[in-house]
Amino acid sequence: MNNNELDTSNISQKIKDVVNKKNIKDARELIDEFHHADIAYALAEVSKDEQLTFLRLIKTADAAEVFSYLETEQQTELALSFTEEWGMKLLQELQSDELADVLDELPANVTSKIIAYTPQEKRNEINKILSYAEDEVGSIMSIDISSIQNEYTCEQALYKIRRDYSKKNAELVHYYYVVSPTQKLLGALTLEEIVFAKPNAKIDDIYSPVKSLKANDKQEIAAKIFSEYDMSVLPVTNQDDRLIGMITSDDVIDVIHEAATEDIYKMAGINPDTADADDYLKTPWYSLLKSRILWGLLILLFSTVIEIVSYFLIQQISPLLSQTNKIIAPLLISLIVFIPTVSTAIRNGSTQTNITIKRALTLDNIKTKNFGKVVLKEALAGFAMGICLAAVNLGKLSIFLAATNDLMNNSKDAWLAIASVSIALVIGLTLSQIMSALVPMVYVKLKKDPSNSSLVLIQSLSELISVSLAFSFMLMLITIF
């Protein structure tokens, strides 16, 4: 058990003790002793009744802060129990975007009760957030912000920040955004710049330009801009460039985690829409089945192609072996034994290439105009890797066949098998790495998400290449020799 688990267990026990005694003083001391996030994490380990009692014992503002750190499922369960004025007050302490997230998960009858208790101004803000699609910046932005007009002095700006913080529950942040009298975004400045400037200094003289997002931008765009500009917050504007909110790095971290999880699932042939990435232990087995079965069936069907190709090539080899009075068994057995070596190496190479290219495309390191360079580079890398692995494989198989006496008893057959496998390695790695690079790039060319190109499909195609090449080169070498 690690330290975090020990700490959480300790806090959970303290919460239970406080609840049993219904001691308001101890409950509030606990809030002062631990971070709100730690309290929220510990609350997950106690019963719902104990959670509700503890939240009632502490100040409403603290209860709202703890509530904001709870998992969505816990928030929903607790909110369904908020039938009295206290619960409604707690929800009103939340930022508009946080309350919107909670309402989005609740049944309509509960939502309508909470909305009815919500002041009109905040209600309008919540409706604005809920009007955006789930993957748009507007759906995760904070509307409770304090903006500063460019005509203000620093003294006036500080007064407005204090007033907004106390009256509008505006978020206290490092950057403040400067707007024109018509709310058009002009730039930004830090709290330090305002505090340390002369009281009568004009905001118009000290603010700097700032990168912004549109409310309808996709959240992935926000994540990319945060990464490129190393910002902690970014302003959000409407289509007329008027400031309507902001998003924080915390919001974007969640987006990055979700996008990364989705990409990983897609690469593995798992449907991210039916797989619950938030809590594996709470995911029922049938959800796992639904998320995985499609690609399992497709691979099974695709393997039929490999079986047909293998059968056809064996049928082509068999008469040649019979015509030359060869014993078919040793050669075919050797080839069948060695094919997994080729398949494993080619699958590994294609996996490495595919993941590398997808990552480069995600980071925008590869443009459409670079596709030719990418194919050439991967072809050279695949060919060079094939040569290296074939050389090692040649030595390994020679030792293996010598140890089994096949090299002495059926030397020609043995060398044909070794040559087939080695040539298949070189050509197979070259072709599979070109293919593994091309598939995600074709998706980009078609304006599709490259993560949708399943790694399972790439690996299956690599399997087909390895089997086809091994038998084809065997057929060719038998014909020649």
Q: Residue 201 pLDDT > 90, yes or no?
A: yes
pLDDT score, position 220: 82
**Summary mean pLDDT of the chain:** 79
Distance CA 160, CA 163 (A): 5
Pairing of strands 175-179, 147-149: parallel
CATH number of 3-131: 1.25.60.10
Contacts for 328 with CB less than 8 Å, ≥ 6 apart: 317, 318, 321, 322
Helix (H) or strand (E) holding 129: helix 120-130
Q: Is there a contact between 413 and 471 (Cβ–Cβ < 8 Å)?
A: no
pLDDT tens, residue by residue, 93-115: 888 888 888 888 788 777 877 88
Q: What is the CATH number of domain 147-248?
A: 3.10.580.10
* pLDDT-based confidence at residue 3 (cuts at 50, 70, 90): very low
Tens digit of each residue's pLDDT (9 = 90 or more) over 72-82: 788 888 888 87
* Residue 195 confidence (pLDDT): 92
What is residue 5's predicted lDDT score, i.e. its pLDDT? 43
Q: What pLDDT digit, counting tens, does each position of 258-292 carry?
A: 777 777 776 666 666 665 555 655 667 677 667 66
- For residue 415 the two structure tokens come to 């060398």
CATH-assigned architecture of domain 297-480: Orthogonal Bundle (1.10)
Mean pLDDT confidence for 165-188: 83
At position 387, the amino acid (one-letter code) is I
Q: At what angle do helices 3-21 and 24-33 cross, to 10 degrees?
A: 160
Looking at residue 302, its pLDDT comes to: 63
Reduce the DSSP state of residue 199 to 3 states and report it: coil
pTM of the model: 0.56
List the chain domain ranges.
3-131, 147-248, 297-480
